[in-house]
Amino acid sequence: MTQPTKPNPFGQPPASVPGTGQKPGGLLSRTSAPAKPLTPPAGRPAAPPPPPAPRFGSAPFQPSTRVEWDFVPVLRVLVRFDLRGLGDPLHRLLGHPLNLDYGTLGNLSKALEKGGDAPEALRAYLDTVWPTYELGGAALLYAWDDAVKTAVSRRVSVDKPLKPANSGQNNSDDDDFSEDTSSDEADNSDAAFCLRAIDLGLVLNVLARTRTNLLLGSASLSFDRRLLERALVTDDPRLVALARATGSIEEGLLK
């Protein structure tokens, strides 16, 4: 008697179930079958297309347009506060013996942050002179970095008038232009310049009381190294006036 052949489990599935003419069922056959496109029921229209993206009307730019901006100082005179090169404040302000190590800002800031009798005496002195500056409200100061230097330089280029290029046809026009703008160039020769405050009492007070970019008249004093080792700049006219009154020097914009 002939034994029926067993189906090979690794072979191709039969085209139909023997004796029924139907295709074999099972998960494999259902998942391997090609997907049929979905169509809406009879009598129901297809879904409408998505609405178009909203427009900005008369906006000068589209959402994908790249917009760049920058800032420039409002006033023409800036003042910078920096302890580098100002020497030993304990010697200059309190009359203590000169410490050559404090000629380096890192050594000075470490000693002030560590505390002790000398830093506490300096703190008392700074708290005494701070009210005499009569600085109320708040002032904005910025780190003296490349971005600020570039902004100040752009202020110079904005303030100074541009002279047209010389040519054989417009020499006479150039002469008229130079006569008209000579006085303007003289007025704008100092269009933007930077002072450096050199009074240690003012510089220490400003650096030790400014938090991030904000200096409050009521701010407390802190000898945190991160505060003392900064270089800050501002165009606030009150701080500019204080620097001029207590002592300052004019320096280049790219120092």
Highest mean pLDDT among 10-24, 65-79, 113-127, 138-152: 113-127
To which residue do tokens 């409408």 refer?
48
Q: Report pLDDT for 37.
A: 57
Contact indicator for 17, 23 with CB cutoff of 8 Å: yes
- Could you give the CA distance from residue 188 to residue 175 in angstroms, rounded to a whole number? 19
| Structural domain harbouring 201 | 77-159+189-251
146 within domain boundaries: yes
Higher pLDDT, 139 or 190: 139
145 within domain boundaries: yes
To which residue do tokens 């006033």 refer?
75
62 within domain boundaries: no
To which residue do tokens 């998942």 refer?
31
Q: pLDDT band at 215, cuts 50/70/90?
A: very high
214 within domain boundaries: yes
Give yes or no for residue 46 having a pLDDT over 80.
no
Question: pLDDT (tens digit, 9 = 90+) per residue, 16-36?
Answer: 555 555 555 554 445 455 556
> 77-82 and 138-140 as β-strands: parallel, antiparallel, unpaired?
unpaired
Q: pLDDT band at 228, cuts 50/70/90?
A: very high
> Whole-model pTM above 0.75?
no
Query: Structurally, how many domains does the chain consist of?
Result: 1
Mean confidence (pLDDT) of the chain? 76
Q: Report pLDDT for 51.
A: 72
- Report residue 3 as tokens: 């034994």
Give yes or no for residue 101 having a pLDDT over 60.
yes
H or E element that contains 77? strand 77-82
- Report residue 194 as tokens: 């930077």
222 within domain boundaries: yes
Give yes or no for residue 157 having a pLDDT over 80.
no
- Could you give the CA distance from residue 33 to residue 211 in angstroms, rounded to a whole number? 69
10 within domain boundaries: no
Q: Report pLDDT for 49.
A: 77
193 within domain boundaries: yes
40 within domain boundaries: no
